[in-house]
Structures are given as structure tokens and as C-alpha cells.
Structure 1
Amino acid sequence: MSQLKQEITLLGGIGQMSTTLLGTGLFMVPAIAASIAGEQILWAWFALLLAICPIAITFASLGKRYPNAGGASYFVRQAFGPRLEKAIALLFISVIPVGVPAAIAIAGGFAQQFLPSFMSHPLSAQLFVVALLMAVNFSGSKSSSRLQTLIAVGIIVLVASFVWSSDVHATNFAPTASSIADMGSIAQAIAVMFWCFVGIEAFAHMGEEFKRPERDYPIAILVGCLLAGAVYYVFSVVVLEHHAYGTQALNTTSVPFIADKLFGPQATWIISIVGFLACFATINLYTQSLARMIWSLAREYRPESPVARVSVKGVPTIATLTVGVTLAVSCVFGYLSGIDIDIFLTLANGIFVVIYLFAMWSAVRLLGGWRKNLAILSLILCVLVLLSIGLAMIYAIIVLALLWALLGRSSK
């Protein structure tokens, strides 16, 4: 058996997309952005949603036309050929030892709050997350999408309970008047908030597994983005209402701070579980996407390889195991080395933006009509974001250049 199963429904796709975008961002980004822009953060969310819509629509258009487990790299292949496809694919795979373990460390921090004492060590908690990832991934995409849909519902219920228990009125949801002087802080906040929408490129790898990819895949991307944006906006109103921002400690604990204020210390374990599940949802989709990227390359270039095979549940077994083992080794290395996870996250962000940029560039060449114009706008937005992230941009470009050079030599 060498094909993935088409089991993801529209509802499951929306659940996967929204939870991937929410993930760890809900627990930090609104408070950090509020520290930068204050009440103007609401204008920042409006501006960001307007900016992300062209990118989301462009990804949706590409996925509808080219539903493939290769995701963004497959789009690049259609536009620029196999050499750049391989370079982008390997660039995405290079995030396995860099970006995903950092997110696992955050999820492990939440897991430590409810795991038994013999598993509450940071490294044990991280390896527990990896083991759970493998269990969920080997259950198949259908079961995984159902789990993530339930997690999405849980996150929405949590935010709704905050709104219901807070002294929030309809007028609080309307942005306050702003001036030209506020534009600088709004722009700075948007630069931070953009990372809430990193994840669309990972979802691109799931298009081939939708029951009706031409119809449901683009809807899942658009609705998932809008749903995540709405949750971020509403929660930002709650953060402003309770002044749960302003210091580094408060920015990273805004959700527990609000929960303790509204419901008392007995709510701590609920926040830990929801926080863990939100982080897990993001990591789970990236694990699936990375495994499918490896499998997709094997299917295209080494179809007789064991890596190109899938299980009876439609899971690329060897590719998934490869990702799991790499994650476990990276977690051990990260713990023993003591390297700050912020460094890993920054480097991974640069890689993601470069992938976004080449996907949008591919769309400019592949799409026509108004979609082409939208792709040009999306490409410009990605260039602006890439220029704003500094050293991470240089790291991603150097890695891509090295991969391009190595692939050129191997083809001779």
C-alpha cells in the first residue's frame, strides 16, 4: 500500500487548522503584543487578519489545484522544478531538530504539572510528549483530526468562560481611537503577532488526505484562520480588561493569572491540561507534516524504498518513526546542552517565513486572474516579514543556499 487515506472531513480540517494556529501562541502572544501596543492591539489584530487573508487564500488556491503531501515544496516543484523542490523540502525537514523540540519543551512544561512525580522531570516530560505524538500519529489522520477538533472546542470553551466571568461589555470589543503616533507600536505588535499564523504551510501537507480536497481543503484553511483570529481577538480583550500584561513574567503567565483571578487556584490543573493540549495540537500537525514530507520525497524519487510505504491505516510508518526518533534525540541534546529554546524558535521562524515566501512566489507563476494578483500581494507581505526578523532570516537563507549548492553537486 503506497497511498495515504483520504479520511479528513471538513470539520476535522477546520479543527486541525485552528488548533495549529492557536497552540502556544494563545498563552503568550496577546499579552506580549499588549505590552507593546496597549489597547491598540485590537487594531493590530484587524490589520494582521487583513494581511494574513491573502496568504491564506493563496495557500487555499494552491492546495485546491495541487493537493499533495509534499505541501509547499510540491507547489515549488510545479513552478520552479525538482531541484528547488528538494531544497525547500529539506529546508522544512531541517526544522525537526530545531523548532519542534522547542515547542515540545513548552508542552512538557505544562505536562509536568499533572504527570506523576517519577515523570515530572523536564526531560521525562518531553519524552512523554514524543511518545504520545507517536501514538496519535500511528492511529491515522482521521483519529488525529478528531482529537484536534476536540482540543479546538476546549480552547474556545476556555476563552468563552473567561469572557463570561469577566466584566466585559460589548463596547470593550471595539478598538479605541488611534493616531499616527500609534502606528509604530501597532506595527511592532503585528511583527510579534504574525507568528500566531505560522502553521498554514504545515497544513498544506494534509491536502491529499481530505475526503474532498477540492472543496473542503480551502474552506478548512480559511475558516480555521478566521476562527483562530477571532479567538485571539476575544482573548486579547480579556487580557486588556484584567491588565494581564506588562512584565516578562506576566506576559508568559497571562492565562494562569486570569484563571486564578476569576476561578481561584483550583483552576490551575485545568489550565495546565488545556495548555498542554493546545501545544500538543500544534506539534502533532507538524509531526504529521514532516513525516508526510519525508514520505512524499521517497514516493517521488525512491518509490521502491521502504520509506515510501504506508501502513493499513494510511500512515507513513518509517517516515513517522524517523521524525519521532529525531525529536527524542533533539530533546535530549537540547536539555543536556542547556541552549535557550528562544534561540531554536527564532531560527525555526526564519525557516517558516522563507517557505511561505517561496510558496507565494510559486503561486505568482502558477495562478491566474485575481488569484495571481493576490499572490503578488502575499509575496510582498512575506518579503516584508522576512526583512523584519533579522538574524533568523540570514540563518534560513544560508541553509537554503547550502542545500541548493549540495543538490547541484549531487545531480552532476
Structure 2
Amino acid sequence: MPALKRDITLIGGIGQMSTTLLGTGLFMVPAIAASIAGPDMLWAWWLLIIAVCPIAFTFAALGKRYPNAGGASYFVKQAFGSRLEKAVALLFISVIPVGVPAAIAIAGGFAQQLLPQALSQPLIAQLCVIALLMLVNFSGSKVSSQLQTFIAVGIVLLVAVFVGFGQLSIADTLPHSLPTDNLLPIGQAIAVMFWCFVGIEAFAHMGEEFKRPERDYPIAILVGCLIAGTVYYLFSAVILKHHAFGTAELNTTSVPYLADKLLGSGLSGIISLTGFLACFATINLYTQSLSRMIWSLAREYRPSSSMAQVSRNGVPTQATIIVGVTLVLSCVFGELSHIDIEVFLTLANGIFVLIYLFAMLSAVKLLTGKAKSLAVFSTLLCVLVLCSIGLLMSYALVLLIVFFWLVPSIKPRG
């Protein structure tokens, strides 16, 4: 049976996990959340990080016990059977029309500043991003993890520079009111900020490609989440102190705004390059994850098909091509629809929260002892985040119901 190469080391895994969480989110979510909740955004970060930690621990426990390219859907299969597995897999794939356009649009915006004038149109820049994605993906997971480790170091250094030149004090990093005073805007901010921690479920698809998955995979998840949470929190404090938020335009250009204000305009090229690489890192892992989910389903249900084969670099070729074509179509849709990015983010977050919820429910059934108790707690936290999204959660719920009832039961065959 075809198998993926085990090329990912512990350091490479930490780099991949942290850059996935620090990608597009760093360049828009803190400013959008600040516009919603103001200084109380800091409380939202505390609450969200507290909620994410047990979820990350549970994903780590599942990945250690069930390392598989199917990721969360594979966990669901082990707990609830193949029908729900396929529904969750399709739900993950369905994030492309709502989540990917926002991510690639931001990456394309940075790319426009780096490309020649003839290629600096928004849609052309986005297509160039996809072409680069395909090049990196076909190079194999080892090259991809090394690239993302390099990007992770660059992002952390960038935020460290902002913290230093922004003269951030300890007082600037602490909330100055009680969270009970503004629960509604804090909840609304969390609904958007959850985007910053989507990627744990995507990283679950990479467990099979670790050299030592039993040891390194859970460590990579936990350390990656800790690095990302710290960087987000400090950067949010900088945004609040220097008022780099408030309008739709400023919310999506907070990083260039801070760079000009704190460092001067001479570094705009470096900021654009860092922004592009950070966004690219997130999209890169999702491209890998989506292709591996398609390949995993083909390997299980149609193992003799060409879809289930891998290249010499251990890459699922046909599945990667399918994802690339879908990304092109999604970019065209995103460019033509002109839907607000905040709406895109919240709809995508609804899908991710639902996937997290089913992964936690699977953990409740599959794990034992303290891990099982933590999974129960994580399930309750997912329900609370789900409630914070409100009516926009109906998009994900309707999709799941449609997938569950309309996708026929497929039996594995050789």
C-alpha cells in the first residue's frame, strides 16, 4: 500500500505548527478583534488561549495514538464509523470557498508589492501564490517543513521588533477592566479570533509523516500553540497601544501601519516579504492537509486507483492537483464576490469549530483516564465557542447535515 515519507523532525514540526497558527491571522485578526472589543480584546485572548490549551492537548493525545493522514476525520472514523468520517472530511474540504479566498487575498496583497508591475493585479498575484504553493507542495513535506521553520523564526523576530520599538510595558499587556463588563463584545471577538488557532486540525493530517510521531507530534502541537499564543498576545498589546485598528482598511494593514510608525518607511519591502511568507505558510499547510485528506480517503476506499498513489517525493500527486485547481476557482470566486473578510472568517471558523467538536467527541470515546476527562472538558469548550459564533454557525451545521445524509456509504475495496 502507498505510504507517505516520514521526513518531519521535531524542530520542523514545531516550525510548521507555529507558522500555521501565525499566518494570515497575525496580519488581520488582532486589529479586527480590537475594533470589536477594544482593550477588552486582551481578556478575549486569555479566554481563548485557556480554551485552546486542553483542545491542543487532546489533539496531541489523539495524534500520538492514531497518527494518520486522515487527521480529524480518521479520529471520527475510529470512534463513530466511516459515514460520519466522510461527512467530516467533506466538511473540512468545504472550508476552501470561505476560508481560502481570505487567506490568499491577503497573501496576494503582500505579493503585489513584491511582483513586477505587469503581475501586480490582485487576481494575477493570487494565481502566482497558488503556483508557488504547488511548487513547494510537490517538493515534499521535508522541504515544506524546513521552509516554514525559517518563516516561523522571521515572524517571531518581527513581532519582537514591534514590541521593542513600540516600547511595550508590562502595564500595556494587562487588561484594565473586568471581563464581566463587556461579555458580548468579548464573545464576538473570540468568534473572529478563533481563526488564529485553526490549524491544529490541519496539522493532524501530518502526523503520519513525522520520523517519530509518538514522541515528536504531540510536542510539536503543544510548543507550536504556546509560541503562537504568546506572539498573538504581545502583538495585540502593540496594536492597542498604538491604535492600529478601527477602520476596514486599517484592520487589514495594521502591520504596514505599525512598521511605518515605529520603524520608518524604509523597511516596507522587508515587512511585505515577511507578511507574504507568513500568509503563505498557513495556506501551504492547508494545501498539504487537504491533499492528504483526499489521498487518505482514496487509499482507504480505492487503494488501487491512481488517486491513491504518491510520487517519488512521497507527495499525493493527483490529490494535490485537485486542491490546486480548487484554489484557483476559489480565488476567482473570492475576487468577484467582494464579501467582507470578517464574514468569510466567521463562516470558516464555524466549520473549524464543528470539526474540533467532533474530534473532541471522538477523544471522549477513544481515550481513557485523565486524557478522557480532558476531552470531556475540551468538548464543553468547543460548544461555548460554537455558541459565540451565533447564527453564522448555521452554515457549517447545514453543510454537515447535507454531507451526512447525501453522501452514500462507501465500502473499502481493492
TM-score (norm 2): 0.94
Distance 1:183 1:246 in 2: 20
Does the aligned pair in 1 maintain the 2:357–2:382 contact within 8 Å?
Answer: yes
The residue identity in structure 1 corresponding to 2:12 is G
Q: Would the alpha carbon gap of residues 117 and 97 (structure 1) be closer, same or farther in structure 2, given more than 3 Å must change?
A: same
Alignment of 1:388-407 (within 5 A): 388-407=388-407
Match of 1:211 in 2: 211
Distance 1:254 1:336 in 2: 24
SS of the aligned residue for 1:358 comes to helix
Greater shift in the superposed pair: 344-353 or 300-309: 344-353
Does the aligned pair in 1 maintain the 2:301–2:410 contact within 8 Å?
Answer: no
RMSD of aligned Cα (Å): 1.9
Match of 1:237 in 2: 237
Distance 1:291 1:408 in 2: 21
Distance 1:92 1:288 in 2: 13
Runs of 5+ unmatched residues, structure 1: none
Alpha-carbon shift at residue 277 of structure 1 (Å): 0.9
Per-residue deviation, residues 12-48 of structure 1 (Å, max 9, x unmatched) = 1111111111111111222222233333333332222
Alpha-carbon shift at residue 336 of structure 1 (Å): 4.1
Does the aligned pair in 2 maintain the 1:349–1:392 contact within 8 Å?
Answer: no
Match of 2:266 in 1: 266
Per-residue deviation, residues 60-111 of structure 1 (Å, max 9, x unmatched) = 1100000000000000000001111111111112223442233112211111
Does the aligned pair in 1 maintain the 2:40–2:179 contact within 8 Å?
Answer: no
Runs of 5+ unmatched residues, structure 2: none
Identity of aligned residues (%): 72
Match of 1:125 in 2: 125
Greater shift in the superposed pair: 255-264 or 88-97: 88-97
SS of the aligned residue for 1:389 comes to helix
Match of 1:160 in 2: 160
The residue identity in structure 2 corresponding to 1:229 is G
SS of the aligned residue for 1:390 comes to helix
Match of 1:387 in 2: 387
SS of the aligned residue for 1:260 comes to helix
Alpha-carbon shift at residue 338 of structure 1 (Å): 4.6
SS of the aligned residue for 1:68 comes to coil
Q: Would the alpha carbon gap of residues 96 and 240 (structure 1) be closer, same or farther in structure 2, given more than 3 Å must change?
A: closer
Greater shift in the superposed pair: 232-241 or 151-160: 232-241
TM-score (norm 1): 0.95
Per-residue deviation, residues 238-289 of structure 1 (Å, max 9, x unmatched) = 1122122233333222211111011212222222111111111100000000
Q: Would the alpha carbon gap of residues 131 and 212 (structure 1) be closer, same or farther in structure 2, given more than 3 Å must change?
A: same
Distance 1:409 1:13 in 2: 35
Alpha-carbon shift at residue 164 of structure 1 (Å): 1.7
SS of the aligned residue for 2:243 comes to coil
Q: How many residues align?
A: 411
Per-residue deviation, residues 322-356 of structure 1 (Å, max 9, x unmatched) = 11111112223433455555544433222211111
Greater shift in the superposed pair: 207-216 or 395-404: 395-404
Match of 1:78 in 2: 78
The residue identity in structure 1 corresponding to 2:246 is G
Distance 1:386 1:45 in 2: 16
Alpha-carbon shift at residue 172 of structure 1 (Å): 3.0
Match of 1:20 in 2: 20
Distance 2:161 2:346 in 1: 33
Alpha-carbon shift at residue 173 of structure 1 (Å): 3.1
Distance 1:6 1:256 in 2: 38
Q: Would the alpha carbon gap of residues 387 and 37 (structure 1) be closer, same or farther in structure 2, given more than 3 Å must change?
A: closer
1:330 paired to 2:349? no
Alignment of 1:94-113 (within 5 A): 94-113=94-113
Does the aligned pair in 2 maintain the 1:96–1:323 contact within 8 Å?
Answer: no
Match of 1:151 in 2: 151
SS of the aligned residue for 1:215 comes to helix
Alpha-carbon shift at residue 223 of structure 1 (Å): 0.5
Q: Would the alpha carbon gap of residues 84 and 16 (structure 1) be closer, same or farther in structure 2, given more than 3 Å must change?
A: same
Match of 2:378 in 1: 378
Match of 2:358 in 1: 358
Distance 1:247 1:326 in 2: 32
Greater shift in the superposed pair: 41-50 or 185-194: 185-194
Per-residue deviation, residues 124-158 of structure 1 (Å, max 9, x unmatched) = 10110110000000111011011111111111111
